[in-house]
Amino acid sequence: MTDTLTEARPGGPGHAGADEAFERHRGVLLGLAYRMLGSWFDAEDVVQDAWLRWQRSDPASIEDPRGWLVTATTRLALDQLRSARRRRETYVGPWVPEPVPTGRLALDPAETAEQRATLSLAALRLMEQLSPPERAVYLLREAFELPYQDIADALAISAANARQLYRRAAARLGGDRARFSVDRREHLDLVDRFVAAAATGDRAGLEALLARDVVLWNDGGGRISASRNPIFGPEKVVRFLLGIMRRQARTEAYRVDVNGAPAVLLDFGYRRILLAFETADDGVVGVQGLTNPDKLRGIGTPSDDPVFTLGEAAFPTDGRPNGRAPR
């Protein structure tokens, strides 16, 4: 027994093996924590805490490292989520999840359509309406495909309670779950049409892309001047977006890929706005606008030429925009 404990201690002969075991599952743990919290910054903190707990445990005696680490990360994320919810009650303006560049950061698991769907910004925003336990059960079942008994063990509840929480979460999300999973080609086509219409100031073209009940959330977090209330309806959403571009000396627009879906990054030089879209059969039903620089720190401005550039004379008084047309 003494030899086993010695090998499991940090710095002991078994330390390298414990490190390797943890690193094998780091992507899974980050993916879980990020889905739980909607914040990459907080997810990294949770995974670091899980690592410290792993180091203080006896890894050599743990038969299922992945299960142990998923359980530890879930419980840590639940604690963090409860704390985050209290902070979000005093958040300035709408709260929008922090985007992550697709492909740059490991967000396993993401092999199936269901797993990829739970990474979308639409999913992360909509899951805010769930209670922390509901969100945990829903994600462990939907994204990680865990049996109810394993979920129950992770949350220290009964399997029957886990099933009930999952059914309740699925019912609360209801028809909104259709926003989670969007055909990538259709989404890209919609983004391209949005960019083309925005580049030419085509108000009617932009409104035609939006559903009648479209909502825009603009997250400045008190760091950047932004609308503190959601904006409803195609006309008001388009007026808001074109108004922002009209007030800038220069606007460069880029296509970027975040959370597995195309989005638009507007770069004004001194600040940036990321526009992510939620779609349904009748068009764009939601626009998540992020201006909070803390949430955009992981989104680099592409090195490629912008899709379009608008200068000071982009929207002259006759209403016909100038500037470079989209490629």
Residue 230, classed as helix, strand or coil, is coil
For residue 227, the cross-strand partners are: none
The band of 318, judged by pLDDT with boundaries at 50, 70 and 90, is very low
CA pair distance 39, 51, nearest whole angstrom: 18
User: What angle is formed at CA 295 by the lines to CA 290 and CA 300, rounded to 5 degrees?
Assistant: 90
**DSSP state letters, 124-157:** HHHGGGS-HHHHHHHHHHHTS---HHHHHHHHTS
CA pair distance 155, 161, nearest whole angstrom: 10
What pLDDT is recorded for position 15?
A: 60
CA pair distance 45, 83, nearest whole angstrom: 13
What pLDDT is recorded for position 304?
A: 83
**DSSP state letters, 60-83:** GG-S-HHHHHHHHHHHHHHHHHHH
What are the pLDDT digits (tens) for 267-286?
Answer: 998 899 999 999 887 789 99
pTM of the predicted model as reported, rounded to 2 decimal places: 0.85
**DSSP state letters, 165-226:** HHHHHHHHHGGGGGGT---HHHHHHHHHHHHHHHHTT-HHHHHHHEEEEEEEEEE-TTTS--
For residue 232 the two structure tokens come to: 């409803």
CA pair distance 288, 227, nearest whole angstrom: 12
The CA-atom distances, in angstroms, between 195 and each of 241, 242, 252, 253 are 12, 12, 11, 8
CA pair distance 110, 143, nearest whole angstrom: 8
Q: Is the pLDDT of residue 10 over 80?
A: no
CA pair distance 32, 78, nearest whole angstrom: 11
Mean pLDDT, range 184-198, rounded to an integer: 88
